[in-house]
Each structure stands twice: as C-alpha cells, then as structure tokens.
Amino acid sequence: MSKDIRVAATSKIWAFATGMLAICIPLSSVTRSGPILPLAAIAGAATGTYFVWRDDNKYKSLANSDPKQLEQRIANLETIVSDREFELEQKIKQLESKD
C-alpha cells in the first residue's frame, strides 16, 4: 500500500498549524493584535496545502518520460560540465572573485 506523499505533507502542515494556533490565540490577546496572528497561521497552512496539491502535470510528465531520453540528457550535461572551456571559465571566475 503506497501512501501519497501529499497526504503526509498535508497532515504535517495542519499539525504544525494547529500547534501555532494554540500558541497564537493567547498571544493575540497579550499583544493586542486581534485575529491577525491566528489568521496568518491559517493562511500559511492553507497556502502550503495549495502548493502541495496543485496540478503538477509538468513534473509528472518528466518523471514518466523515456529512461533512454533521460540518460541522453544526463550524458549531455556531463559533456558540458566536463568540457575544458567550462573548467577554465570556472577557474577564471574564482581568480576574479579572489581579487
């Protein structure tokens, strides 16, 4: 049984939000901020939940792409990074930053 990671993340977000509310409600009367602190905690949890559950087709398509295509992309990146010109540019930047 594979549990969706979004469910776990959402439960942690709201568990922390509940704890923040428990702290914010007494603090709002002491600081005389009114409902601002509790509302900020709820808004933060709601925003976090939205970003966890938003439509992520862009990321799913990358995860479901052809493994050979991913291997080719990695090989291209390795070629770029191991290129001597890239190494020289990095060394020049390091020398410039030291001056």
Q: What is the pLDDT of residue 95?
A: 83
Interval 56-64 mean pLDDT: 62
Q: With bands split at pLDDT 50, 70 and 90, how would you rate the model's confidence at 4?
A: confident
- Angle at the Cα of 2 (from 55 to 69), degrees rounded to 5? 60
Is 9 a residue whose pLDDT tops 50? yes
Q: Which amino acid is at 52?
A: V
51: Cα within 13 Å, side-chain hemisphere: 6
Contacts of 91 (CB under 8 A, 6+ apart): none
Q: What is the pLDDT of residue 1?
A: 43
Interval 5-34 mean pLDDT: 88
Is 97 a residue whose pLDDT tops 80? yes
